[in-house]
Amino acid sequence: MCGIVGFAFRDSFEIKDSVKALKRLEYRGYDSFGYADNNGVVGKHVGEIAIDKVPALNTKIAITHTRWSTHGGVTEMNAHPHTDCSGKIAIVHNGIISNYREIREEMEKAGHAFKSQTDSEAIAHFFENKNIKDAAPEFFSKFQGEFAVLLVKKAEEKIYAFKRGSPLVLGIAPEGNILASDIYAFSDRTNRAVFFNEDEFAEITSEGFTFYSITDTTIPIEKEITVFSWKEGEELGEYPHYMIKEIKEIPRAASRLLLSLGGEQKPAVEKVVRMLKDAKRVIFVASGSSYHAALIGVQFLARAGMEARAVVASEFRSFMLLDENTVAVAVSQSGETMDVIEAMRGIKAKGVKIASLVNVPYSTVQRMSNAHLNIGAGQEVCVAATKTFINQVITMAYMASMLGYRADFASLNDCITKALLQEERIKEIAAELKDERDIYILGRGVCYPVAREIALKLKEIAYVHAEGMMAGELKHGTLALIEKGTPVICLMPKNDKDIVSSAEEVKARGAKVISFTSNGYDSEEGVKINATDAATFAIASAIVGQILTYYIAMGKGLPIDKPRNLAKSVTVK
């Protein structure tokens, strides 16, 4: 989940410039950051990326790293880059080396002195006193796990790059070449990129690049330059945090998506829908917020008469119902979620066709798919999925509508706009919930996954223990936890009488009921939602939940865009 960037430029640049590019990837991790060049300069710092901590040094080759900790605590010594014993080799690494303990023990017996607790440092020691290109095949053979690695050698004007599992892309810029974890690191400089495939090794200079398959590093392989289109993330402007900025961008992102699905993406939509029509079973594979969107998609397809289910990607190996009558739909905001990619590899091995829903173009998930749809939300910087989640749900509804599900897209924009207009009311509720340790969210049908998504937002951004529940399951155990003053949010679409009964059940036990409602239910606290059907209610209530989470976190003074222990793109297992 770390972010890496490497610059190989024709003219000298300040190392600060490469760290500024790294700052664009800080959503991938922000425990510590560091930089190294081919002159032997190495710098490491704990905490978020701070440009003012980087010295005004010039170079033509530099590699940088922002860390999300896996092996070893958050310390300066564990920050990247890591060096070999001689200090002539420096590396940055995104991924996990699963057999590093055995390798490290072997190297220590051979006399190597390790300075950190990380798995990554073993990579630098491995290449010590070796010809990098000649040693590359042995590196791929010896080191198990996932890795995107950039390596510089003192006095060489070259960056060596290695890719297995973790994402890596090369940007072709006017100044030279840029290596990065994803295109956003250099999308402000160029729209030309070369994407690494599995088990590829490359030598990158300011003037060019040479790629090799690790099975044969004597013969270069041809690589295609892709011209990509990517909507830039704007500056914060008037907003204090990216989360609220991105919530406010939902109307524009949703409108852009609907225009795209009915226009430039229409052939892709038709291809995906044909795949679904020809299948007897549809399996969604996703993680986190994308999994909750997939659960909503299952409900939409079920209402269109299709058999569908969603499986958490990390548990997919336990799911065996795959055959020629199955279509898998991979859902991933980043397109680099390792659990999803691993599941996709198993699915492809069984010969099952895969469609995907992604936000980041040309990502690994997209390139592994037989067909794909881009959800068109644009860059999302905050760790919490807000506009990307909403656009995933809209895309699910759109696909299902092509198969018989009736969705009211005509009223969607009005519904979203009116949800955003409830901001002041939501602020008042947030102020009352700020100090609560436990919050329960109840939903039925399409609203059950929304309840789970709101609970996830409260956990990851507001640090509140929250449970999103099927309202009908309340009396089968959880009702024992309800006592006087316990906050219970009830998602109450029009004509749902059963959720009203659930609200009365908890109210009778002293709960403080907060309704997100289209049915006029009179609760102690409530937010009116203008919705015409299940899809619009699900989308509007999710937005209200996002705003509520934001203001609870604001009231607690929390780091909203960069919550503790988390990163946006989960590229390790």
Beta-strand pair 226-227/192-195 = antiparallel
For residues 389 and 395, give the distance between their C-alpha atoms in angstroms, rounded to a whole number. 10
The total number of residues written for the chain in this structure: 573
Q: What is the largest distance, in Å, between two alpha-carbon atoms of the chain?
A: 75
Catalytic residue, chosen from 88, 163, 457, 568, is 568
**Residue 415 annotated in active site:** no
For residues 132 and 203, give the distance between their C-alpha atoms in angstroms, rounded to a whole number. 10
Task: Give me the DSSP letters along 93-156.
Answer: EEEEETTHHHHHHHHHHTT----SS-STHHHHHHTTTS-HHHHHHHHHHH--EEEEEEEEETT-
Beta-strand pair 281-286/326-332 = parallel
Beta-strand pair 487-492/512-517 = parallel
Beta-strand pair 308-312/169-173 = unpaired
Task: Give me the DSSP letters along 283-342.
Answer: EEEE-HHHHHHHHHHHHHHHHTT--EEEEEGGGGGG----STTEEEEEEESSS--HHHHH
The CA-based angle 566-567-568, given to 5 degrees, is 130
Angle of helix 447-462 versus helix 288-303 axis, rounded to 10: 170
Measured torsion, CA atoms of residues 251, 555, 559, 75, in degrees rounded to the nearest 10: -170
Catalytic residue, chosen from 2, 415, 447, 490, is 2
Q: In degrees rounded to 5, what are phi and psi of residue 203?
A: -110, 125
**Residue 2 annotated in active site:** yes
DSSP 8-state assignment for residue 161: E
C-alpha radius of gyration, the chain, whole number: 25
Q: How far apart are the first and last CA of the chain?
A: 10
Helix (H) or strand (E) holding 399: helix 387-401
22 and 33 Cβ atoms separated by less than 8 Å: yes
Identify any residues that bridge with 171 across adjacent strands, giving them in sequence order: 178, 193
Query: What number of H helices and E strands is found in the chain?
Result: 16, 25
For residues 334 and 428, give the distance between their C-alpha atoms in angstroms, rounded to a whole number. 34
Q: Residue 432 corresponds to which tokens in the numbers above?
A: 């009352």
Q: Which of the residues are catalytic?
A: 2, 568
